[in-house]
């Protein structure tokens, strides 16, 4: 049995497919329940009950929503470019899923444990803009077009600061491999020495996933829903899936970069790493919902000012400070003393 | 060579499975749901008005400017990645070389700031 899976080609392909499903199925389930959790949390913040009709405590609500979306008509606008119109949600969803290939769930446990893990994630999240721009352009609707432009400008603005934050982390860890980065945090999580970058990353990840208070691309009071205004049925569903999967991904990335990924805190290592990673991801998801319930939406000029005039100089400066500090105190990883 | 590529094989599997899930969801919905398009339903949404004009028209040049700035700074980040990995081996010389490079970029950044390229009213 062992020989079959590790020494033959067919066995290897089956093994990898199994591993892929073992990651994707929980991620999609987590995504489905994060919509439920979000509605429950928002309900609690506003002294409401949230969904409580479908199943006990409304627990089957996500599936009811999915089935309802499935039986809705897929409307393709007359002026739209049909092929691109249907491709856009697929791009968003596929990219959001593909990024999970490199996320380590326990020590050494990433489906694709590649050496350039961070670079891969950075590339995938850059490609995410395409789904949105293509959707806005292919819909041939003014709201969709404006929403796509806004969204693209916002995402690339905050991507720059995220890039500098990543550089700070790999300066400390000395590797682009996500498992190595987690291992380097064995004694001290990076949210302590790199605290300002942790804050920058937290805010940037809200902007990167177009979430409140930076949800201007879909600002319902001005451009109704932004880039997906023309989408209906499962095509809309894929955008929705993509957005929440991306939120989970950014939460996972934040846990890996700053909260020690699968490392257990306080020496509680008898609980497996994957549980700790899940707990950290859930914590960041709750942060998303908490922020959404607390802060009003930003104005577009404020958003761009925060990205370019505050976060960019701050994170760029912090890269120099971190590098200088490590250089002066000879704390660089891989340094020959 | 073979082993390096083998590391990336799961990425392809992820791509295939995600495409399969996405395609099945959209395709399945198109199969089971009744499709009844008519002229008003498939016209572009414009808050109840009849859609006028085409959406592919001129837009604010600042979006373009942001994209160009992004390319510059993203390239800078791309240069920083290998530098950050090897900083322990290239020592002070490497550190100050990158500092000079960042200095040049910072001058450019200050220039565009003063020129008002980052202003949105």
For the segment A36-76, what is each residue's pLDDT rounded down to a tens digit? 999 899 999 989 888 888 888 888 888 888 888 888 888 88
Chain A residues inside the 8 Å CB shell of B17:
17, 20-21, 24, 97
**What is the structure's pLDDT at A69?**
87
| C-alpha of A18 from chain center | 23
Whether the pLDDT of residue B43 is over 80: the answer is no
| Nearest chain B alpha carbon to A137 | B56
Q: Which residue has the higher pLDDT, B106 or A4?
A: B106
To probe the interface with A, which of B12, B21, B22, B38 has the most A CB atoms within 10 Å? B22
| C-alpha of A200 from chain center | 15
For chain A, domain boundaries = 73-328
Sign (positive or negative) of CA dihedral A291, A293, A294, A296: positive
**How many beta carbons lie within 10 A of that of residue A46, not counting itself?**
9
Contact (CB, 8 A) for A311 and A161: yes
**What is the structure's pLDDT at A79?**
78
Answer yes or no: do B55 and A140 touch at CB < 8 A: yes
| Nearest chain A alpha carbon to B57 | A142
**How many beta carbons lie within 10 A of that of residue A116, not counting itself?**
18
Nearest C-alpha neighbor of A148 from the set A195, A103, A92: A92
**What is the structure's pLDDT at B31?**
86
Please state the φ and ψ torsions of residue A263, each to the nearest 5 degrees.
-70, 140
Answer yes or no: do B121 and A301 touch at CB < 8 A: yes
**What is the structure's pLDDT at A249?**
92
| Nearest chain A alpha carbon to B27 | A234
To probe the interface with B, which of A98, A324, A326 has the most B CB atoms within 10 Å? A98
**What is the structure's pLDDT at A260?**
82
Q: Six-digit token pair at B103?
A: 């200095």
Answer yes or no: do B37 and A114 touch at CB < 8 A: no
Q: Which of residues 66-105 of B touch A (CB under 8 A)?
A: 66-67, 69-70, 73-74, 77, 80-81, 84-89, 92, 95, 98-99, 102
**What is the structure's pLDDT at B2?**
57
pTM: 0.90
**What is the structure's pLDDT at A290?**
92
Contact (CB, 8 A) for B44 and B55: yes
**What is the structure's pLDDT at A8?**
73
In A296-336, alpha helices (H): 300-305, 312-328
For A113-131, write each residue's pLDDT tens digit: 788 888 889 888 888 888 8
Contact (CB, 8 A) for A156 and A129: yes
For chain B, domain boundaries = 57-121
Q: Which residue has the tokens 């008898």?
A: A270
**What is the structure's pLDDT at A337?**
42
**What is the structure's pLDDT at B4?**
65
d(CA A241, CA B18): 11
Contact (CB, 8 A) for A142 and A227: no
With cut-offs at 50, 70 and 90, classify the pLDDT of residue A300. confident
d(CA B115, CA B62): 13
Whether the pLDDT of residue A336 is over 60: the answer is no
Answer yes or no: do A76 and B42 touch at CB < 8 A: yes
Average pLDDT value over all residues in chain A:
85
With cut-offs at 50, 70 and 90, classify the pLDDT of residue A335. low
**What is the structure's pLDDT at B1?**
45
For A181-232, write each residue's pLDDT tens digit: 888 888 888 888 889 999 999 999 998 888 878 877 676 666 677 778 778 8
For B88-100, write each residue's pLDDT tens digit: 788 888 889 889 9
Nearest C-alpha neighbor of A55 from the set A26, A71, A33, A29: A33
Contact (CB, 8 A) for B34 and A79: no
Answer yes or no: do A224 and B47 touch at CB < 8 A: yes
């Amino acid at each position: 049995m062992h020989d079959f899976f590790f020494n033959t080609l067919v066995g290897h392909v089956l093994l990898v497919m199994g591993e892929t499903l073992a990651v994707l199925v929980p991620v999609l389930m987590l995504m489905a329940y994060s919509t439920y959790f979000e509605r429950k949390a928002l309900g609690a913040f506003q002294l409401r009950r949230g969904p409580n009709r479908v199943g006990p405590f409304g627990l089957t609500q996500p599936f009811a929503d999915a089935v309802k979306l499935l039986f809705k008509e897929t409307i393709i606008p007359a002026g739209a470019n049909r092929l691109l119109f249907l491709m856009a949600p697929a791009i968003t969803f596929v990219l959001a899923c593909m990024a999970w290939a490199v996320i380590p769930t326990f020590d050494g446990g990433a489906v694709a444990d590649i050496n350039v893990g961070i670079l891969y994630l950075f590339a995938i999240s850059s490609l995410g803009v395409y789904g949105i721009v293509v959707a806005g352009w292919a819909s041939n609707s003014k709201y969709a077009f404006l929403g796509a432009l806004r969204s693209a400008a916002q995402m690339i603005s905050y991507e720059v600061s995220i890039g500098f934050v990543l550089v700070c982390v790999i300066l400390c860890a000395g590797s682009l491999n996500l498992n190595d980065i987690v291992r380097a945090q064995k004694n001290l999580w990076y949210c302590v020495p790199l605290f300002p970058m942790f804050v920058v990353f937290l805010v940037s990840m809200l902007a990167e996933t177009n979430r409140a208070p930076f949800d201007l691309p879909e600002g319902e009071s001005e451009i109704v829903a932004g880039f997906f205004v023309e989408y209906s049925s499962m095509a809309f569903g894929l955008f929705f899936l993509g957005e929440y999967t991306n939120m989970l991904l950014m939460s996972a990335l934040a846990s890996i970069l700053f909260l020690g990924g699968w490392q257990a805190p306080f020496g509680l290592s008898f609980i497996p790493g994957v549980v700790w990673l899940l707990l950290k991801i859930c914590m960041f998801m709750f942060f998303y919902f908490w922020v959404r319930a607390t802060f009003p939406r930003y104005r577009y000029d404020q958003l761009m000012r925060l990205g370019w005039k505050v976060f960019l100089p701050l994170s760029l400066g912090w890269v120099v400070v971190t590098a200088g500090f490590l250089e002066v105190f000879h704390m660089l990883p891989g340094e020959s003393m | 060579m073979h082993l390096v590529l083998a590391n990336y094989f799961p990425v392809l599997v992820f791509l295939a499975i995600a495409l399969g899930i996405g395609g099945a969801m959209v395709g399945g919905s198109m199969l089971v749901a009744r499709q009844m398009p008519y002229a008003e339903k498939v016209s572009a949404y414009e808050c109840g008005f009849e859609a006028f004009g085409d959406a592919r028209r001129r837009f604010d040049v600042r979006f373009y400017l942001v994209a160009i700035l992004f390319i510059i700074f993203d390239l800078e980040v791309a240069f920083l990645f290998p530098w950050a990995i090897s900083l322990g081996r290239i020592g002070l010389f490497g550190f100050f070389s990158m500092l000079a490079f960042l200095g040049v970029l910072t001058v450019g950044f200050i220039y565009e700031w003063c020129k008002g390229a980052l202003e949105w009213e």
